Chains A and B, each alone.
Chain A
Amino acid sequence: MFLIYLRRELTKRVRQTILISSGLAVAIALVITVNGVSSGIRNAQSEALSALYGIGTDLTVTKSAVGVDGGPQSFLFGGTQGSTSGGTRSLSSNRLILGPGSGTLTAQELSKIKSTPGVTGAAGVLQLRNVSFSGDLPTFSKTINQFNTYRQSQGNPSSPQGPNTPGSQGSAQQSQNQSPAPQTTQSTTVQPGPPIGGFDGQGGSRFGIDSFSVAGVDTSNLSIGPLSSTKIQSGRPLRASDKGQDVAVVDATYANGAKLKIGGTLKIGGKSFKIVGIVAPSSANSETANNAYIPLDVAQNLSAHKTQVTTIFVQATNNSKISEVKTSLTKSLPSTTVNSSADLASSVSGSLANVSDLVDNLGGWLSLIVLIAAFLIAMLFTNSGINRRTKELGTLKALGWRNSRIIKQVMAESVVSGLIGGLFGICLGLVGIWAFNHFSPGLTASVSQFGSFSRGGSGNGPPDFGGGQFARRAQSGTTTSINLQATISSVTILLALGLALLGGLLAGFAGGFRVSRLSPAVAMRSAQ
């Protein structure tokens, strides 16, 4: 009789059942979709991060600059350097340097990290910037006098900038390029402008500065570090036998822009490197973290940082060990900055982060509000449905039905309504996720994660300087385009179903309890 009555109530009062169920269904579908999209966004975030950071990497260890290496850069040309013809001297220089604020870690520090409990592997990387200058300058002996005359005629005799700085104009441009504001490309090139005559009209100056990032990677351990999250597009990867060889793999995007090909050469630190491979990120469709990768020992020798590295990529035995390892590394290497991937997650910016925030905040609130509204409406409908049946339920009481039996019956009805709504909502939610993935909007993620490192770190100094090698990288955020895939989580589905059941249970109990408290005579007196 219980089941017969239950089935009859649900099927004979179809409108009531549909009303309650569909309200819940819409709410649950919304929650599942919003949840799926937001977890899809979180996945995209971690994908974007791993693309730039290395899949196997759990922690990075860096150090802020203490020496002079990170100071302002200058090109020093001796008076006799270059070739002079007419009033113009041609100069060129190709240097491999650390960025400003970048400090180095020693081999001892690396071995100390390797022996820290909870660490399965560590690989040192020397991250450098190849800066090349080439151009023509006027012969300065001729121009100084004229320059001073010029200055005086401009009413500015006490110029702070001496004309005897040969690269003054160049430095100015260069320091512009070194500004910490994120740019969209990693390599910067100042295109040579049209030759401008000297002050006397004699001799022209024309020069360009080109820089790109170079990472010296440990060829004996490539599973950790920047190359771990890349895949070879053409050619071959670096390998252990490349130690000591002048070979390089280059980023696909950079190679495309700079017209580099396998078998061709790339000048790094004044030396020609043979290009053996082109790499691209294994997951996200973007650039890799560096423009070029060369064997670590070669990079160390060229940059005169023998046995030193700028970043140590650390892999922990498992995820739960990461914070433990982080703590012990911070303790044992107090002068360094230790960052975990979790610190990094907060650093994804761009439309991906905006959407993520939007979904997390607005979407979360929206789904919560809709959920609450749906439950209130469902409860209201359930309640009014029970109210309209007060006479009927009073009759059953008069026939000797116990209160508990009446509550049970009414609760079963609303629970089944909730269940129908829940299942329908799950189907609707899956359709929503499918539709989202089908018409998935393309999003971009600017991952200037290294700039944020200093903010997330120990807070020593302003963001521009605190992050060691990362500060330099902050100027060159990478834009990644991400294909968002909303995911279906069984936890969300179970939760939604649970909520629907709970809603039904509560609504049924509240209504049933209220009616069962009436005396049967009073209940039957109510209008049907």
Chain B
Amino acid sequence: MTTNQSPMLTDSASISMYELDNIGKEFPKGSSTVIALENVSLSIPRAAMVSVQGPTGGGKSTLLQILGGLERPTTGSVTLNGTEISSLRDGRLSQIRAESIGFVFQNYNLIPTLSAVENVQTALVPTKISNKEAQHRALRALESVNLLDRAHHLPGELSGGQQQRVAIARALVKNPEVILADEPTGNLDEQTRDDIIGLLEGLAQDQGITVIVVTHDSTVAKRAQIHLRIDNGKLETL
């Protein structure tokens, strides 16, 4: 796993993190179809912080799912770090998700029966890392989101901001190449929102991780270097 990209390596930095070519996504709905994305072409460099904005139902989440290999586009191709992923079979796609992509979901999506540290560890299950090492790394990840004192609490015992920080720790524990965050600050107060955005910013700046954040919040969007807007399935670069 060569996850930490050094900005100095111009050779690898010259290849974009993502290359999207003419992506289209349709969902069948009864007899008609819903067009969620249409003709989306896009290039995202390494270690960038990207914001995705747009009206509700515009296709932001759909784009994030295609970037993360959770959905396959109906048309077009997605290249991640030089690998075309939209045509990969399920097992290989799982492997890429496990190794390279960290997700932060809008509703945290923590496992309610597992403690904070165990939730973080779930991200390391598909890797060959030993249980002991996995726990060690999970604690370190919790430390980096300033939540070590809550490591053995269940999600139900944590506040929304704390749960979101667990979710971020789970995304970064595997040292991913990309972090995809869907409304990571949706339900949080301003202070917590700023904390979390600072955290994501740090990941992009210090660790060279490409961070793509879907948000309605212009304060959050302002912190990004690249601003995308999706309306009615169509991409507008701002």
Contact = CB atoms under 8 A, between A and B. Distances in A.
Interface of A: 1, 4-5, 8-9, 12-13, 391-392, 395-403, 405, 519-521, 524
A12 B112 contact: yes
B71 interface: yes
B126 A401 contact: yes
Contacts of B234: none
A524 B125 contact: no
A397 B114 CA distance: 16
B229 to A, nearest CB: 22
B112 A392 contact: yes
Contacts of A521: 65, 70-71
Chain B interface category by residue count: 20 to 34
22 contacts: A1-B124, A1-B125, A1-B131, A1-B134, A5-B114, A5-B122, A8-B113, A13-B113, A392-B111, A397-B94, A398-B68, A398-B70, A398-B97, A398-B105, A399-B97, A399-B122, A400-B126, A401-B94, A401-B98, A401-B125, A401-B126, A405-B125
B30 interface: no
Contact of B109 (A4, A5, A391): A391
A400 B71 contact: no
Contacts, number: 78
Interface string B122-165: 11111000010010000000000000000000100000000000
Contacts of A402: 91, 94, 126
Given A1-B122, A521-B70, A399 B103 contact: yes
Nearest to A394: B109
A interface majority secondary structure:
helix
B133 to A, nearest CB: 12
Given A4-B118, A400-B123, 11 more contacts: A4-B114, A5-B118, A8-B114, A12-B112, A12-B113, A13-B113, A395-B111, A396-B125, A401-B94, A519-B71, A520-B70
Contacts of B183: none
A20 to B, nearest CB: 16
A520 B105 CA distance: 12
B118 to A, nearest CB: 6
Most buried by A among B99, B105, B112: B112
A519 B27 CA distance: 13
Nearest to A399: B123
Contacts of A520: 70
Interface string B88-108: 001100111111010101000
Nearest to A516: B90
A4 B113 CA distance: 10
B100 to A, nearest CB: 9
Contacts of A1: 118, 121-122, 124-125, 131, 134
B155 to A, nearest CB: 11
A520 B65 CA distance: 9
Nearest to B129: A1
Given A1-B134, A524-B105, A396 B122 contact: yes
B126 A524 contact: no
A1 B124 CA distance: 9
A395 B119 CA distance: 11
A407 to B, nearest CB: 13
Contacts of B122: 1, 5, 396, 399, 401
A519 B101 CA distance: 16
A521 to B, nearest CB: 4
B97 A524 contact: no
Most buried by B among A1, A8, A400, A520: A400
Nearest to B61: A521
B99 to A, nearest CB: 7
B60 interface: no
A395 B108 CA distance: 10
A4 B114 CA distance: 8
B46 interface: no
B193 interface: no
B128 to A, nearest CB: 12
A489 B211 CA distance: 64
A395 B105 contact: yes
A144 to B, nearest CB: 106
Nearest to A11: B113
A401 B97 CA distance: 9
Contacts of B101: 400
A12 B97 CA distance: 28
